[in-house]
Structure 1
Amino acid sequence: MTSAPAATRLRTARAVAAAALALGLAAGPLAAPAVAATTAPAADTGTGTGGPDAAALRAALAGLPDREATAALVRVGGDGTWHGTAGVRDLRSGAPALEHARFRAGSTTKIVTAALVLQLAAEKRIDLDGTVQTYLPGLLTDDFEPITVRQLLNFTSGLQPGASLGDSVEAGFPHRFETLTPREVVAASVAKGPRHRPGERQHYGNIHYTVLGMLIEKVTGDTYAHQAAVRIFAPLGMRHTSFPVGADPRVHGPHNRGYEEIDGRLVDVTEWNMSDRWAVGDMISTTADLERLIVALFRGRVVPEPQLREMFTVPDLPGATMAAALERHEVNGKVIWGKTGARPGYHTVVAATRDLSRTLVYSVNATDAKGDGLGIVQRFAFPAFNR
């Protein structure tokens, strides 16, 4: 990356200062930030003719940091490639965002969980029509009708949300170093009784994949994290993807810090124990590693046919959009399959056309990462599929 002109660096530094001072900065609490005047503008690289709309992608990254995000890493592949990095590593120093940074990948973790279950199904160790009651006896009460593994995969199980340490970033922040076990999460769901009969409706939620994580451990006699490592991360060369050990709240290795607006102030939320999200959202990764995952998955190198079809089969129910971990979208006339992920301070998208003519992975350090995410997706995801 070439050095930015002094005038550009100064303008960017002022933008950092404006963004930080307009909202105020705290990390626990912290004092007001001291912002260095040596930040860098967005950098991008691209190859291929007839590839992604580079101008639109550059426009999406322009002006970072701003009120929506402090940093963004965007990686587009398929017919032509484009990589862009913008923003700052942290608001205190104003150091440029790291292109190969690790980040909390949130619910894109569900892609890994679904893939593990479908691998085990291909090995005939799990029957997708088998029931939770058979595989995990005693987990559910007699109030529940038989729930199949497939119904967990496609979010039609009828399970209600489980326990959490806060339904919002604001509520969860004081509890960010506490722990909930998967059994505690599920027990709270079970205590509420069923939301609806299995297979009757689709309701996206974490609880389905918490149970799938427990199923993986029961069937393999191994930890979920180790199964993910040996079955997916290592074979695909995802060297920078892992799960925290236990309740470790840190992101190890190079990373851009995450911030959330809480009570009108930007709060550093980088350190946070996400173990209660476990098999549904605890993964730490990079854009390059997640690109490896989606490409290998769609090519049938992770999950074999016919099990792979589960990831592209939306149940025939009113309003259903989710298959096994992947959601179907139409953007600019293209059918896109992907998954969003949101953890405090980090918003992630993994998406691709079925033929891999266009792939997208991004990590955005959004200041409202746990909001509805629509504005972030429209800004950073849609331009990748302009043409």
Structure 2
Amino acid sequence: MTNPTAQRTSSAIRKARWTTLVAAGAAVAALAAGAVPASAAERPAAPVTATPHGPRSIDTAKLAALMAPSTDVSGTLVRLGGSGVRWTGATGPLSQDPAANFRIGSITKLFTSTVVLQLIGEGRFTMDTPVQELLPGTLPAHWQPITVGQLLSHTSGLQEPCVDFRGLQAPPTPAQVISHWTDPKCAAPQSPVLVQQYNGANHFLLGMVIEKVTGRSYADEVQRRIARPLGLRHTYSPKPGDPAIPGPVLADPSGIDPWAWAEGGMISNAPDLERFMTALMRGRLLRPAEQRQLFVMPALSEGAKDRFSMGGLLRSDAGGTVVWGKTGSMGRSTSGVFATEHGARTVVYSLVPTTRDHDLLRTHIGNLVAAGL
């Protein structure tokens, strides 16, 4: 039976735009899209500011048609990378600077998962270690053990919170956020877990695990383990509650509540996301055992709306090509980064939807990504 309080809370969270599960789910499912809608195919192509490099042919006319401002999407950024390929284009009100910065929303989860997998490779804990051992007292004592692997793969069984987030101080601590999932009035995690279910609480807990085990802040660990080694000069986790975005800025940042932390609070840009995803796919960030987890699909992912690997990557089909990555929404923008398994091709996008038709947006993004492969 549906819980009206839970429904109101879910609506409030979406309005707050810090987890935006519905919007993220729309972008996630986009990659399985089919043909271009007639309305998109008939629109005239708008000029695309682009920088092509390399010998491999790209159907720029198709990309331009998909990127043209319309009644559904006001502006689009696309960056393509890979062997012999480098192409960047932007339309509409988005910055024409190919290195413009933006809040990446739930793409942040990829960085969180990568740090956790690195810690597993170092022997700090295992995929089977219960989070209750690593964060004693954080979860109710009567709950069944939830493992690190279950958090990474969204098979923890955690349910949606049933209390209002608007009562939290600004910005809240991660522990205060988790308290809204563990309130006695809320449903306990599903046990046994029957299906993979995307939930931002998983990565809040993983961020807390990172800080507990390393003794350093989440932001510091992302810099130390990923950003600095890869030369990602525009990628970082800002201080709690900091609304600033260093210029140039990709899109109007108004309406953003920047407190999603390890679940969705990071800032980056398209070149950095491409470099990160390429390094991840090519095994530069993880040891072999943990690298394999990026592509192992849990049994519970079968039939799930959004299918995530044991290592936290979203697996999807873009025009017949299997790609791996993550989507994210923050403020007015919806973004994503995807790559083929060995990083032969990467696609980074960010767009500003003007439609509430999630099915139409799914189709549009799916065709956009497929055109870049």
TM-score, L = length of structure 2? 0.79
Q: 1:193 to 1:312 in 2, by over 3 A?
A: same
1:308 aligns with 2:291: yes
Q: Partners in 2 of 1:119 and 1:352 — Cα distance?
A: 20
Match of 2:80?
76
Q: Give 2:89's aligned amino acid.
A: G
Match of 1:290?
273
Secondary structure of 2:372 counterpart: helix
Match of 2:52?
46
Q: Partners in 2 of 1:162 and 1:193 — Cα distance?
A: 8
Equivalent residue for 1:322, pick from 303, 308, 320: 308
Q: 1:198 to 1:313 in 2, by over 3 A?
A: farther
Secondary structure of 2:224 counterpart: helix
Secondary structure of 2:322 counterpart: strand
Q: Partners in 1 of 2:192 and 2:168 — Cα distance?
A: 33
Match of 2:235?
241
Secondary structure of 2:336 counterpart: strand
1:210 aligns with 2:209: no
The answer on whether the counterparts of 2:104 and 2:329 sit within 8 Å (CA) in structure 1 is yes
Q: Give 2:157's aligned amino acid.
A: G
Structural mapping, 1:211-226, within 5 Å = 211-226=205-220
Equivalent residue for 1:359, pick from 317, 337, 346: 346
Percent of paired sites with the same residue: 38
Q: Partners in 1 of 2:66 and 2:151 — Cα distance?
A: 36
Match of 1:85?
90
Match of 1:93?
none
Q: Which stretch has the larger CA shift, 315-324 or 287-296?
A: 315-324
The answer on whether the counterparts of 1:143 and 1:194 sit within 8 Å (CA) in structure 2 is no
Q: How far did residue 231 of structure 1 move?
A: 0.7
Count residues in correspondence. 320
Task: With a CA cutoff of 8 Å and minimum separation of 6, indicate the structure with the bigger relative contact order.
Answer: 2
Quote the RMSD (CA, aligned, Å).
Answer: 2.5
Q: Which stretch has the larger CA shift, 135-144 or 195-204?
A: 195-204
Give the gaps of 5 or more residues in structure 1.
1-39, 90-95, 167-171, 259-268
1:138-179: CA deviation from partner (whole Å, max 9, x where unpaired): 11113311111000000001112348977xxxxx9xx99943
Match of 2:325?
338
Structural mapping, 1:121-160, within 5 Å = 121-160=120-159
Q: Partners in 1 of 2:269 and 2:356 — Cα distance?
A: 17
The answer on whether the counterparts of 2:324 and 2:339 sit within 8 Å (CA) in structure 1 is yes
Q: Partners in 2 of 1:101 and 1:370 — Cα distance?
A: 28
Q: Give 1:306's aligned amino acid.
A: A
Structural mapping, 1:265-276, within 5 Å = 270=254, 272-275=256-259
Q: Partners in 1 of 2:164 and 2:286 — Cα distance?
A: 34
Match of 2:26?
none
1:193-232: CA deviation from partner (whole Å, max 9, x where unpaired): 3231255321011011110000000001111011001110
Q: Give 1:139's aligned amino acid.
A: T
The answer on whether the counterparts of 2:319 and 2:367 sit within 8 Å (CA) in structure 1 is no
Match of 2:98?
99
Q: Partners in 2 of 1:187 and 1:61 — Cα distance?
A: 41
Q: 1:74 to 1:238 in 2, by over 3 A?
A: same
